[in-house]
Structure 1
Amino acid sequence: MTAALQASLFDTGRPAPGELDDRVRREHLRGGAWIDVLPGWLSGADALFETLARTVPWRAERRQMYERVVDVPRLLCFYDEGDDLPDPALVAARQALDRHYRRELGEPFATVGLCLYRDGRDSVAWHGDRIGRGSTEDTMVAIVSVGDPRALLLRPRGGGPARRHELGHGDLIVMGGSCQRTWEHAIPKTSRAVGPRISIQFRPRGVR
C-alpha cells in the first residue's frame, strides 16, 4: 500500500523549474567525478507528483536475481527520445538543463526515466548508469525528485564511505564527469514512515 504524500507548505503553484546559473553548487568527488545539487529547483513539485502518480502508465517489473526471479521494488516508466512527456514541466526542466549543461555535456538530454518509490520498502541497490556509453565515457545524469524526501547515497565504486543527500519536493542532483563509472548510487530501504517519491531522470542518448 502506498503512503500518502506529505505536501510541503511552501511548495505551491504551477510546476516549473528555476534558474541554474548562480544557484547550483558543485561538489568535486575523487576520480574525476562531480555532483551538482540544487534544493527546491522545481517549484510546484507536489502538484507535479500528483499528476505523474495519477497519469503515468506505471509498470511493475520482475528480474532475474541469482537463481530466482524477484519483483523490482519500485514502479517504472521510460520515455525514449522523441516520446511525448507526461507533463509540460518535464519539457521545461529538460530545456533548462540543456541551456545550463549543453556546452559542458556537448549534447542534449534525450530520454526521461521515471521511478515511483511507493513507501520505505521500495528501493534501488548500489549501481551506476553504465548500460551503453556510460560504461566507457564521461556523461551526465540529472535527477529531479518530487514527493517525500528519500536518501540518495553515493560511494566510490567497490565500496567506501557513503555520502547522503535527502532529495524530494523538487530537489535536483546532477551526477557528472566519471561519476557513473567510478561511483555508485542507491536509494536504500527504510523503516521510517515515509510517503511516496518519484525520481525523474534525464539522460543523454545511449546512456541507461
Structure 2
Amino acid sequence: MSVPLQGSLLDGFEEVAPGPLDGVRRVQLSDGAWVDLLPGWLGGADLLFDRLVTAVPWCADRRQMYDRVVDVPRLLRFYEEGQELPDPALDAARIALSEHYFDELGEPFRTAGLCYYRDGADSVAWHGDTSGRGATHDTMVAIVSIGAPRALLLRPRGGGASLRYPLGHGDLIVMGGSCQRSWEHAIPKTRRPVGPRISIQFRPRGVR
C-alpha cells in the first residue's frame, strides 16, 4: 500500500547539504566486514527527494527469472563515471564521502546508482555487489537514504541471523571491508503502509 511521503520533523532545512562525518559509528561484523552508520547525515533530504522524483529519468527494468521475464520491483537509474548527476547535492555528497574515506578506501567514489521504492511492494532480494571487484576485493558502498524509512537487512552469506537498519530522511550507511562478498543485504517487501523512498548508492570504479 502506498502512502504520501511524511516529512521528518527533524529535517527543517531550506537547502540540501551533507553534514560532518565525524559522528559516524562503526559496527564490526564477521569475516572482515563492517558497516558505518550516521542517521540524518544529509540535511534537506526531503527537499532532495522531491527534486529527484521529478528530475531523474527513472527506468522500469525487466529481468529474466527462471523461465520468464518479470518486472524489477523498483525504479532504477545508474550514473556511470563522468556522467552528470541529476542534482548538485549528489555531487556534494560524493565529494564529502570520497574525502572522508580516501585514506581507507584508497580511491574516490565514482558512480551513483539510484533506486526508487514507490511503496511496500517494491523491494530488492538478498544480494551482494559482486558483479565487479566486490567479488574478490575489499571495497565500500555508501548508501544515502531519502524519503520514508525502509528496513535494510544484512545477514552473513550462507545464512544466519540478520541485522535490521531502518533507513530514511538522509540516513547514511557505508558497507565496507569484505561486506559485499561475505554478507548479503536486502530491502524486503512489507504490507505495512509505507511512504516512498530513494536509495542513492555511491561506489568506486569497477564495483557494481
* Alignment TM-score > 0.5, same fold: yes
Task: Identify the residue that residue 64 of structure 2 maps to in structure 1.
Answer: 64
AA in 1 matched with 2:152? L
Using the TM superposition, give the Cα deviation of residue 99 of structure 1 relative to its aligned residue in structure 2, in angstroms. 1.1
3-state SS in 2 of match to 1:73: strand
Percent identity among equivalent residues? 73
Aligned pairs (5 A) from 1:54-93: 54-93=54-93
Using the TM superposition, give the Cα deviation of residue 3 of structure 1 relative to its aligned residue in structure 2, in angstroms. 3.2
Using the TM superposition, give the Cα deviation of residue 136 of structure 1 relative to its aligned residue in structure 2, in angstroms. 0.4
C-alpha distance in structure 2 between counterparts of 1:66 and 1:121, whole Å = 21
3-state SS in 2 of match to 1:155: strand
Aligned pairs (5 A) from 1:1-208: 3-12=3-12, 13-21=14-22, 23-208=23-208
3-state SS in 1 of match to 2:77: strand
Q: Which runs of 5+ in 2 are unaligned?
A: none
TM-score (norm 2): 0.98
Using the TM superposition, give the Cα deviation of residue 2 of structure 1 relative to its aligned residue in structure 2, in angstroms. 5.0
Q: Which runs of 5+ in 1 are unaligned?
A: none
Are the aligned partners of 2:110 and 2:204 in contact in 1 as well (CA < 8 Å)?
A: yes
C-alpha distance in structure 2 between counterparts of 1:185 and 1:164, whole Å = 10
C-alpha distance in structure 2 between counterparts of 1:67 and 1:180, whole Å = 28
Using the TM superposition, give the Cα deviation of residue 10 of structure 1 relative to its aligned residue in structure 2, in angstroms. 1.9
AA in 2 matched with 1:169? H
Two-structure CA RMSD over aligned residues (Å):
0.9
Are the aligned partners of 1:3 and 1:118 in contact in 2 as well (CA < 8 Å)?
A: no
3-state SS in 2 of match to 1:4: coil
TM-score (norm 1): 0.98
Using the TM superposition, give the Cα deviation of residue 92 of structure 1 relative to its aligned residue in structure 2, in angstroms. 0.5
Residues 82-138 of structure 1: per-residue CA shift (max 9 Å, x gap): 111111110110011011100100000000000000000000000000011110000
C-alpha distance in structure 1 between counterparts of 2:9 and 2:73, whole Å = 29
C-alpha distance in structure 1 between counterparts of 2:158 and 2:111, whole Å = 28
